[in-house]
Amino acid sequence: MSDQAGLEVAELGCRRGGRRVLLDVTFAVPRGGALVVTGPNGAGKSTLLRVLAGLCPPSEGRLAIAGNVLAEDPSAYRARVGLLGHDSAIKLTETPAEALRFWTGYAGGRSTASPSDALAAVGLLELAGLPCRHLSAGQRRRLALARLMVRGADLWLLDEPAVGLDADGLTRLGAVLARHRATGGMVVATTHVEFGLGGEPHLTLGPASLDGLAA
């Protein structure tokens, strides 16, 4: 049954601004699985995540989540993706509760966690009514994680999710990821910090994928 299939990435390549950023990236993440992407600065980790999200079109290769192929049905593919990027995508005039209510509504019934559940899981329940401009960088990161929880995506793409988080935040991040994977969710993360994915498979992007075959 194709719905049991996870993320399949085959011979993925990407060029940006005439420069090759990714070449021949192949891996698979099964349901409930995780993958840690490592590599030096500029190796293309963030680009890989944006390509996996379906935001940045790959120049070659095949991408599929649970049998939904990006090239065949982009919106069905993107509907299964959640992204925690560098930018927190938080509006300073909104409160965390308002933001999560909106994203829950935007998910249109796919949500698997309620806004209050998500806020409790990341430890922001007491600050639910405070405008986001008063939140610290770490608290905004936690809110972005809570947004990921209410959006009901199968595949979570995390770009340095640990940045700005304290010890308690890292523990909560680990717990949230474990809960997501226990329900069949998948995780692809770039990180230099240990928060419960240490034992998972690693994909190392090197400068080789940057320079190789510049044509």
Asked if 117 is part of the footprint of another protein (rule: CB under 8 A), the reply reads no
Give the DSSP per-residue string, the chain. Answer: -GGG--EEEEEEEEEETTEEEEEEEEEEE-TT-EEEEE-STTSSHHHHHHHHTTSS--SEEEEEETTEETTT-HHHHHTTEEEE-SS----TTS-HHHHHHHHHHHTTT--SS-HHHHHHHHT-GGGTTS-GGGS-HHHHHHHHHHHHHHTT-SEEEEESTTTT--HHHHHHHHHHHHHHHHTT-EEEEE-SS-SS-TTS-EEE--HHHHHTT--
Asked if 156 is part of the footprint of another protein (rule: CB under 8 A), the reply reads no
Within 2-21, the residues that bind another protein by CB under 8 A are: 16-17
Q: In which residue are the tokens 């044509």 written? A: 215
Instruction: Using the minimum distance from each CB to another protein, give the nearer residue, 129 or 199.
Output: 129
From 35-43, 97-105, 168-176, 194-202, span contacting another protein (CB under 8 A): 97-105
Instruction: Using the minimum distance from each CB to another protein, give the nearer residue, 140 or 172.
Output: 140
Asked if 61 is part of the footprint of another protein (rule: CB under 8 A), the reply reads no
Instruction: Using the minimum distance from each CB to another protein, give the nearer residue, 104 or 190.
Output: 104
Which of 5, 10, 28, 89 touches another protein (CB under 8 A)?
89
Which of 7, 23, 81, 197 touches another protein (CB under 8 A)?
81
Which of 20, 142, 147, 180 touches another protein (CB under 8 A)?
147
Asked if 105 is part of the footprint of another protein (rule: CB under 8 A), the reply reads yes
Least Å distance between CB 151 and another protein? Answer: 6
Site residues (vs another protein, CB under 8 A):
16-17, 50, 53-57, 75, 78-79, 81-83, 85-91, 93-94, 98, 101-110, 147, 151, 153
